[in-house]
């Protein structure tokens, strides 16, 4: 890989997502126009990538192609794919990150493969027992980071504490909040409410070195009373998908012939507003916190704009040294 003079190299899976290179490559080029100090290595089928590498006249963007002869489909078993497809974009890029050739990997491909490759190839930070997926969600006034959004379906209270501490660092370093407000997703405001996991986690959070604002009930989740909202990966994934489901419900109503035509009509502007606000495009992708590196998992339906934002997010995490900051902070005993 030849990226002379570029401090940061971001690896991007050109084949990932529903649309592959025709969407990913323009997104990467747009990111490079915004981030001239970095370069991108595009991993994938060179013949499929190159037709989309169209620069503007006089432009010399720092992009290279790393040819890959394999690819991982969305339906493959992640662990098997990591072992069996060493020449796939995700595996090859992650190995290059482990070797220090690139500083981050962005993919809109299989979430499972991204998580597995991050864990198996990069490994977790020494001070982190369980890396977590963080996802930004819009609130009435701003946004919040929900974690874990699906990496760990079974959690202990100590895992949730670790997620909270990682979220706290993310909020301070990436969201630029002086003192991020950390909440625990729960089914009641009182500390006695919830299941065994949340009641025990609530106790741990109360003495932890971050601004714990208490339990956040899901009816108040989008009101913005916390910047970082912690939950187990089963509940987090359920919440994330239900938010998507609400949009699908409105879209379904708008198309349902049994709904009066004027109601269907009235739903359309609201749907457009929601689609804009809840668009994964705004945030570029989910991130895996707690690994020895930077992994951004973009939505399978990513547009070019989503890829651009994912690359910009990756550059920011690398520039700030997020993994190193997490390692230092979580290495301290609370």
Binding site for a copy of itself (CB under 8 A): 139-141, 150, 153-154, 185, 187, 194-196, 198, 217-223, 234-235, 237-239, 241-246, 248-250, 252-253, 256, 258, 263, 266-267, 269-271, 273-274, 277
User: Looking at beta carbons only, is 42 or 144 nearer to a copy of itself?
Assistant: 144
User: Looking at beta carbons only, is 34 or 276 nearer to a copy of itself?
Assistant: 276
DSSP calls for 250-295: HHHHHH-TTS-HHHHHHHHHHHHHHHHHT-GGGT--EEEESBSS-E
Shortest distance (Å) from residue 154 CB to a copy of itself: 5
Query: Parallel, antiparallel, or unpaired: how do β-strands 132-138 and 286-289 relate?
Result: antiparallel
Shortest distance (Å) from residue 239 CB to a copy of itself: 6
For residue 40, give the nearest of 112, 135, 133, 107 by alpha carbon: 107
Question: How far apart (Å, rounded) are the C-alpha atoms in residues 307 and 288?
Answer: 16
User: Looking at beta carbons only, is 49 or 267 nearer to a copy of itself?
Assistant: 267
Apex 153 CA angle, 152 and 154, nearest 5 = 90
Shortest distance (Å) from residue 246 CB to a copy of itself: 5
Considering all CA atoms of the chain, what is the largest pairwise distance in Å, rounded to the nearest integer? 64
Question: How far apart (Å, rounded) are the C-alpha atoms in residues 16 and 26?
Answer: 13
Shortest distance (Å) from residue 238 CB to a copy of itself: 5
* Residue that is written with structure tokens 């705004």 in the block: 282
User: Looking at beta carbons only, is 33 or 249 nearer to a copy of itself?
Assistant: 249
User: Looking at beta carbons only, is 77 or 127 nearer to a copy of itself?
Assistant: 77
Shortest distance (Å) from residue 117 CB to a copy of itself: 19
């Amino acid at each position: 890989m030849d990226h002379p003079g570029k401090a940061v190299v971001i690896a991007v899976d050109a084949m990932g997502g529903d649309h592959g290179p025709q969407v990913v490559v323009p997104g990467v080029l747009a990111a490079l126009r915004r981030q001239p100090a970095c370069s991108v290595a595009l991993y994938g089928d060179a013949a499929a990538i190159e037709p989309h590498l169209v620069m503007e006249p006089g432009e010399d963007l720092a992009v290279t192609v790393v040819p890959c002869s394999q690819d991982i489909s969305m339906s493959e078993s992640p662990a098997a794919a990591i072992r069996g497809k060493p020449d796939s974009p995700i595996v090859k890029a992650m190995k290059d990150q482990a070797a220090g050739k690139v500083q981050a990997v962005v993919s809109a491909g299989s979430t499972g493969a991204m998580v597995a490759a991050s864990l198996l190839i990069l490994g977790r930070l020494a001070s982190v027992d369980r890396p977590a997926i963080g996802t930004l969600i819009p609130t009435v006034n701003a946004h919040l980071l929900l974690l874990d959004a699906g990496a760990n379906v079974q959690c202990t209270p100590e895992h949730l504490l670790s997620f909270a501490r990682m979220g706290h660092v993310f909020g301070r370093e990436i969201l630029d909040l002086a003192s991020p407000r950390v909440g625990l997703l729960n089914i009641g405001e009182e500390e006695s409410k919830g299941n065994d996991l949340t009641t025990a986690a609530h106790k741990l959070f109360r003495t932890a070195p971050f601004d714990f604002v208490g339990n956040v009930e899901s009816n108040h989740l989008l009101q913005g009373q916390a910047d970082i909202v912690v939950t187990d990966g089963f509940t987090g994934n359920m919440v994330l998908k239900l938010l998507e489901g609400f949009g699908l419900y409105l879209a379904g109503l708008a198309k349902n012939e049994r709904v009066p035509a004027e109601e269907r009509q009235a739903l359309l502007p609201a749907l457009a507003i929601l689609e804009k606000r809840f668009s994964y495009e705004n945030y570029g992708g989910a991130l895996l916190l707690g690994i020895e590196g930077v992994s951004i998992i973009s939505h399978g339906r990513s547009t070019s704009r989503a890829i651009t934002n994912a690359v910009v997010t990756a550059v920011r995490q690398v520039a700030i040294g997020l993994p190193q900051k997490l390692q230092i902070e979580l290495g301290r005993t609370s």
